[in-house]
Amino acid sequence: MLAAAILALSCLGSPAALAQTRAATPPPTAPSDADVSPWLTNLLEALKPRVDTRLPESSRAATVRLEGLLASGKAAEALPEIDARLAKSKAGDSQGEDVQMLFLKGRALNILGRPQEAKAVYLDMTQRFPELPEPWNNLAALEVADGRLEQAKMALDAALRNDPNYPVAHENMGDLFMMMAARSYNDSLRLAPQNAGARNKEAGIKSLLEAKTPAPQPRNR
């Protein structure tokens, strides 16, 4: 699913086309805003933690209502309440609500065009709740948006260590490997423009990535 976010591969004539990756080593050129696909928001909205938080019914209802606000594009309305609930949880409320509200906050920030703040939320979740695979997966998606492939792989590795049966992370890892291969072929073409083999392989990968479904349907777990 990371692939759909990287439709920027269609302009792989420059390293910036790999802008949607999360890696320890950034690509040769910093990503541009034009490289970030609306698919990324769809990915982050589609996922939420599968942890059994055993929330009280009132908190469950609030979570559902806030999710509805995000789904209807009212993130600016939802974010203040999310922050208020997080502040309340620090005063002794359940950890379960903290998990759900943090995840909603990451989604809200990304919808509002504040991906670096969203990344900080997911990173915080990976430190506080390292056993959950979903924050690692969404952190990887945002690392992809920053053009950091190796860091994205590290995050997906962590997601799969926590849940080896997490299908989204497996698919994302496969897409990430394709993006890394495309970057290598692009580097080869930059150094040797007449390399027909690298050009054909690059085109094949672009075709595979662009053929993927661009917007996964939200799933409830």
pLDDT digits (tens, 9 = 90+) for 164-180: 999 999 989 998 998 88
Amino acid letter, 132: L
Mean pLDDT is lowest, of 16-25, 112-121, 140-149, 183-192, for 16-25
pLDDT for the residue 1: 52
| pLDDT at 104 exceeding the cut of 80 | yes
| pLDDT at 17 exceeding the cut of 70 | no
Residues 6+ apart with CB under 8 A from 39: 4, 5, 7, 214, 215
CA separation, residue 110 to residues 60, 115, 121, 187 (Å): 22, 5, 10, 31
pLDDT (mean) for 202-216:
70
The owner of tokens 């390399």 is 195
Mean pLDDT of all residues belonging to the chain: 74
Mean pLDDT is lowest, of 103-112, 176-185, 200-209, for 200-209
pLDDT (mean) for 30-35:
41
pLDDT (mean) for 28-48:
45
pLDDT (mean) for 53-82:
81
Say how many CA atoms lie within 13 Å of 78 toward its Cβ: 26
pLDDT for the residue 220: 34
pLDDT for the residue 145: 84
| pLDDT at 159 exceeding the cut of 90 | yes
pTM above 0.75, yes or no: no
| DSSP conformation letters of 135-154 | HHHHHHHHHHHTT-HHHHHH
CA distance 113 to 73: 12
Assign 207 to helix, strand or coil: helix
Residue 191 burial (CB count, 10 A): 9
Backbone dihedral angles phi then psi of residue 21, each to the nearest 5 degrees = -145, 165
